[in-house]
Structure 1
Amino acid sequence: MHGFFIAASPTYSSAAAYGGGAGNTGCAAVQVAVMTERINRLRRGHFSMHAGDRHGHRGLQCLISRRRRLLSYLRKRRLIMYAMVVNRLGLRR
């Protein structure tokens, strides 16, 4: 295995940083943070070694689309949380 299933501890650290508590993994801000970690890990690690992995690219695009929809939800419903998440993660420069 390539270490793809070691996402448990970053999930809880992201939950503590963005969601107010370690168990609050359902918050949209926490989900955006976890997805961003996964996207960055895939872009830097997996696709640098396996550039021809087209099925993986489709999965990456689905993950990016899901993150975009969650960010849109945050922008509509919780603007302050949206601004905090975008600034911390370095999105939307």
Structure 2
Amino acid sequence: MPLDPELKQEIIQTFQRHPNDTGSPEVQIALLTARIKQLEEHLKTHRKDFHSRRGLMKLIGQRRALLNYLKRTDFNRYQILLQKIGLKK
């Protein structure tokens, strides 16, 4: 279930660091967070969809790795991103 292209562009514009930025950790984490939220909603109605649940766990692992990288390299950017996205840490 890919993200809606308009929503994806909006997320990229919100979290980009410079005008052509689409691959910074902040953008990647924000996009993964949007996909995770979308999958969580799907799994609320389709509780036995274990294939999608596995995909959700993979996305959460990817996001966790990117968050660890950002925390290790630039702690201030990490804290700002957590506040913007609304993740607890």
For structure 1, which runs of at least 5 residues remain unmatched after alignment?
Answer: none
Distance 1:35 1:58 in 2: 15
Give the number of equivalent residue pairs: 89
Q: Which contiguous aligned blocks of 4+ residues in structure 1 show a shift greater than 4 angstroms?
A: none
CA separation of 1:22 and 1:13: change in aligned 2, threshold 3 A: farther
Please report the TM-score for the alignment, with normalisation by the length of structure 1: 0.84
For structure 2, which runs of at least 5 residues remain unmatched after alignment?
Answer: none
Counterpart of 2:85 in structure 1 is: 89
Which residue, out of 57, 60, 85, partners 1:64?
60
Please report the TM-score for the alignment, with normalisation by the length of structure 2: 0.88
The CA RMSD over aligned residues, in Å, is 1.6
Counterpart of 2:24 in structure 1 is: 27
Counterpart of 1:13 in structure 2 is: 10
SS in 2 for 1:92: coil
